[in-house]
Amino acid sequence: MMLPPATENKIAAIDERINRAIRDKVYTSIPAKVVNVDYYEQYQCVSVKPVIDDYYPLNNYLILQANTLEKVFVRLQEGGGFKIKLPVAVGDDCTLHYCHKDLDQWLDSSGDNSIEQSVNLTASLNDCYVELGFGTRKKHQNPSKTNLVIEGDATTITITPAGEVTVTTAGVCTIDTDVVISGNLEVGEDLTIGTNSGEGYSSYLGHTHTSYDGGGTTSSVILETETEV
């Protein structure tokens, strides 16, 4: 059934008011970009700008750009005494997640105990927190269906379901503690072994040489192996 133009205009105006009320008062989540990281290490906060702007079809398609939100708290993974501390940079994708309560009092507290809040306080555009990471179907993280992958500009750590761990890096891996190897150790490049400065000696009992050169500082090409006991 065709409605008179005047009725259609009224319905459109009502729909617009409803949509505006929902848009302005009900917040859930929205993708955003990090625009400032100056407060990240001190307060675990960043400044962000949502990446979806509003335009108004009934107002000559007026575009209203999203506001930048300053010093929004970043939620990082933590549990059981362990923490994952992710770096962040300007331009990183992220997601804003909104709360239906005012968050200021909680974020200003130590977080050890519950807080009391007036029922008259309502959530606003700033009552949100950031989760790092997002993307699009055309620009994503190239995930694996099976493996856990931690990837940076110069380092990749891959863990497979079979328990194989591969570390590929352009830098140096440093372990600042004792290392216990219960299986075989295979070295593909040079191996340097220093003495224990505290005790003044090194023990290589049962080690295998690659040639008959024995216990010198270097070994020549592999002829056959021998074991020194």
Residue from 45, 150, 152, 32 nearest 91 by CA:
32
**Sequence-distant (≥ 6) Cβ neighbours of residue 52 within 8 angstroms:** 30, 31, 66
Number of domains in the chain: 1
Cβ atoms of 130 and 46 within 8 Å: the answer is yes
Q: What is the pLDDT of residues 201-227, one digit of tens each?
A: 556 556 666 555 555 555 544 444 444
> CATH no. for residue 114?
2.40.50.230
Joined together, the tokens standing for residue 90 give 């300007």
This prediction has a pTM of 0.71
Would residue 214 count as lying in a domain? no
Would residue 73 count as lying in a domain? yes
Q: What is the pLDDT of residues 71-126, one digit of tens each?
A: 999 999 999 999 999 999 999 999 999 988 888 889 889 989 998 887 777 778 88
Q: With bands split at pLDDT 50, 70 and 90, how would you rate the model's confidence at 183?
A: confident
Determine the Cα–Cα distance for residues 13 and 115; give it in Å rounded to an integer.
42
Would residue 54 count as lying in a domain? yes
Would residue 224 count as lying in a domain? no
Q: State yes or no: pLDDT of 26 exceeds 70.
A: no
Query: Exposed (0-12), middle (13-18) or buried (19+): which is 66, by Cβ within 10 Å?
Result: middle
Residue from 97, 99, 88 nearest 43 by CA:
88
Query: Exposed (0-12), middle (13-18) or buried (19+): which is 17, by Cβ within 10 Å?
Result: exposed
Would residue 216 count as lying in a domain? no
Determine the Cα–Cα distance for residues 99 and 109; give it in Å rounded to an integer.
17
Q: With bands split at pLDDT 50, 70 and 90, how would you rate the model's confidence at 146?
A: very high
Would residue 203 count as lying in a domain? no
State the residue range of the domain holding 73.
Answer: 23-132
Average pLDDT over residues 3-32: 67
Would residue 186 count as lying in a domain? no
Q: Cα 42 vs. chain centroid, distance in angstroms?
A: 18
Q: What is the DSSP letter of 20?
A: H
Distances (CA, A) of 96 to 66, 91, 128, 135, 148: 13, 15, 6, 13, 25
pLDDT, the chain, mean: 81
Would residue 115 count as lying in a domain? yes
Least confident of 5-9, 140-144, 221-225: 221-225
